[in-house]
Structure 1
Amino acid sequence: MVPEKKDFKHNDIIALRSRVMVERDRVTSTASTDYPHNYPGVDLAWDLEKFKENFKIKINRMSKTDMEFDMIGVDASVANAFRRILIAEVPTMAISNVFIMNNTSVVADEILAHRFGLVPILADPTKFDFKSKDDTPTDLNTIVFKLKAKCAHNPKASPTETDPLKKYVHSTIYSGDLEWDPKGNQEERFKECPIKPVYDDIVVAKLRPGQEIDVEVHCEKGIGQDHAKWSPVATATYRLLPEILVNGEIIGESAARFQKCFPEGVVDLVVENGVQKAVVVNPRKDTVSREVLRHHEFENKVKLTRVRDHFIFSIESVGAIEPQDLFVQAVQVLFDKCAQVKRSLQASLQSD
Structure 2
Amino acid sequence: MALEDRNRVVILEDRVENISGADFPMSFDGEDVPFHLEGFKKTFDIKIIRLTPTDIEFDLIGVDASIANALRRILISEIPTMAIEKVYMINNTGIMQDEVLAHRLGLIPILADPNEFQWKRPSDPPTDQNTIVFKLDVACAKGRDVPEGETDPKIKYINSSIYSSQLQWDPKGDQETRFAQNPIRPIHDDILITKLRPGQIISCELHCEKGIGKDHAKFSPVATASYRLLPDIQILEDITDDDAELFRDCFPPGVVDIVEEDGVRKAKVINPRKDTVSREVLRHKQFEGKVRLTRVRDHFIFNVESTGIVSPEALVNQALDILIEKCEISKAALDSAVKGNNEEE
TM-score band by shorter chain is: over 0.9
| Distance in 1, Cα, partners of 2:338 & 2:307 | 43
Q: Which moved more, 1:70-79 or 1:339-348?
A: 339-348
CA drift of 1:154 comes to 1.1
CA drift of 1:163 comes to 1.2
Equivalent residue number for residue 115 of structure 1: 104
CA drift of 1:174 comes to 0.4
**Is 1:223 equivalent to 2:212 in the alignment?**
yes
How many corresponding residue pairs?
341
CA drift of 1:75 comes to 0.7
CA drift of 1:43 comes to 4.2
Match for residue 157 of structure 2 among 168, 193, 199: 168
**Is 1:261 equivalent to 2:258 in the alignment?**
no
Match for residue 211 of structure 1 among 191, 194, 200: 200
Match for residue 236 of structure 1 among 208, 211, 225: 225
Match for residue 286 of structure 1 among 264, 275, 279: 275
Match for residue 139 of structure 1 among 124, 128, 149: 128
Alignment TM-score, normalising by the size of structure 1: 0.94
**Is 1:339 equivalent to 2:311 in the alignment?**
no
Which aligned segments of 4 or more residues in structure 1 are displaced greater than 6 angstroms?
Answer: none
2:298 alignment partner AA = D
Secondary structure at the counterpart of residue 149 of structure 2? coil
> Equivalent residues in 2 for 1:54-69 (5 A)?
54-69=43-58
1:276 alignment partner AA = R
| Distance in 1, Cα, partners of 2:99 & 2:227 | 35
Deviation sequence 1:244-300 (CA, Å, 0-9, x none): 011121111111111111111111012223322111111111100111111111111
Alignment TM-score, normalising by the size of structure 2: 0.96
Equivalent residue number for residue 250 of structure 1: 239
**Is 1:86 equivalent to 2:47 in the alignment?**
no
Equivalent residue number for residue 337 of structure 2: 348
CA drift of 1:41 comes to 5.4
Equivalent residue number for residue 12 of structure 1: 2
Deviation sequence 1:131-164 (CA, Å, 0-9, x none): 1111111111100000100000111322332211
> Equivalent residues in 2 for 1:147-158 (5 A)?
147-158=136-147
Q: Percent identity?
A: 56
Equivalent residue number for residue 297 of structure 1: 286
| Distance in 2, Cα, partners of 1:40 & 1:283 | 33
**Is 1:330 equivalent to 2:319 in the alignment?**
yes
Secondary structure at the counterpart of residue 325 of structure 2? helix
CA drift of 1:13 comes to 2.8
1:180 alignment partner AA = W
Q: Which runs of 5+ in 2 are unaligned?
A: none
Q: Which runs of 5+ in 1 are unaligned?
A: 1-10
Match for residue 190 of structure 2 among 201, 204, 212: 201
| Distance in 1, Cα, partners of 2:8 & 2:331 | 32
Match for residue 63 of structure 2 among 68, 74, 84: 74
CA drift of 1:350 comes to 4.1
1:254 alignment partner AA = D
Match for residue 114 of structure 2 among 93, 109, 125: 125
CA drift of 1:44 comes to 1.7
RMSD of aligned C-alpha atoms? 1.2
| Distance in 1, Cα, partners of 2:33 & 2:41 | 15
Q: Which moved more, 1:336-345 or 1:308-317?
A: 336-345
2:50 alignment partner AA = R
